[in-house]
Structure 1
């Protein structure tokens, strides 16, 4: 990992928090903390992805979350769609990136392209 954390402003804090709670759960990512109008999501009690109010909503951003398996990518996609995301690329191999790039893409409530990706070969 090369980035310690990332934060972005959202238009509707509660709607975005609900979206990310549901969408990131299949990846093992949960709400770690809330402070000063910001929600920090992460693993192992370390908030790495932050959303909050009070900042300009950047458009569009592309954020990719690392998945442990292709099944987790599939679960992320289904959870995000059921949380209200728009489809931006169903789960599958993206050979233009590399032979084992398995990703899914959705559009979040603020129009951001959110991805889950697994780089492992199918038998790993």
Structure 2
């Protein structure tokens, strides 16, 4: 559905470092970068990209769910995000209230956004 999602962050350098580290286990890397007011684009090969830019405005809180191919990637995302400074918002595990094979982990990122990695595979 989306080509890219772009949102403002309060500390561009910190957010760029955080998202690059937290999303690395999902195969996401920085694919382009400009000045902070333009931002940075992160993506896995051939997928939708995530773009961040510096802003002084207070962005609304978001819930972003990132696709993981395996449950091990979900676990690795959670560990990497915590190591990068995120706050735990739900350890890796099944969420059968969503559907029987919904395996996800949740963290709160630098700007208070609820970030999730999810694997739908059994």
Aligned length: 120
Distance 1:94 1:54, change over 3 A: same
Residues 6 and 55 (structure 1), Cα distance of their counterparts in 2 relative to 1, 3 Å cut = farther
Q: 2:110 is paired with a residue of what secondary structure?
A: coil
Partner of 2:92: 91
Structure 1 unaligned spans of 5+: none
Give the whole-Å Cα distance in 1 for the aligned partners of 2:30 and 2:3: 16
TM-superposed deviation, 1:55: 6.4
Whole-angstrom CA distance in 1 between matches of 2:46 and 2:11: 24
Contact 1:8 1:55 in 2 (8 A): no
SS in 1 for 2:55: coil
Q: Which runs of 5+ in 2 are unaligned?
A: none
Equivalent residue of 1:91, what SS? Answer: strand
Does the 8 Å CA contact 2:2/2:48 hold for their aligned counterparts? Answer: no
> C-alpha displacement at 1:63, in angstroms?
0.2
C-alpha distance in 2 between matches for 1:57 and 1:113: 16
Q: How big is each residue's C-alpha offset from its partner over 1:37-72, in whole Å with a ceiling of 9 and x where there is no partner?
A: 201000227661001113634221000000010000
The alignment's TM-score, normalised by the length of structure 2, stands at 0.93
SS of corresponding position for 2:20 = helix
- What TM-score, normalized by structure 1, do the two folds share? 0.91
The alpha carbon displacement at 1:33 in A equals 0.5
Which residue of the partner structure matches residue 22 of structure 1? 21
Q: Is the 8 A contact 2:3 2:48 kept in 1?
A: no
| Alignment partner, residue 31 of structure 1 | 30
Residue 68 to residue 57, structure 1, CA distance change in 2 (3 Å): farther
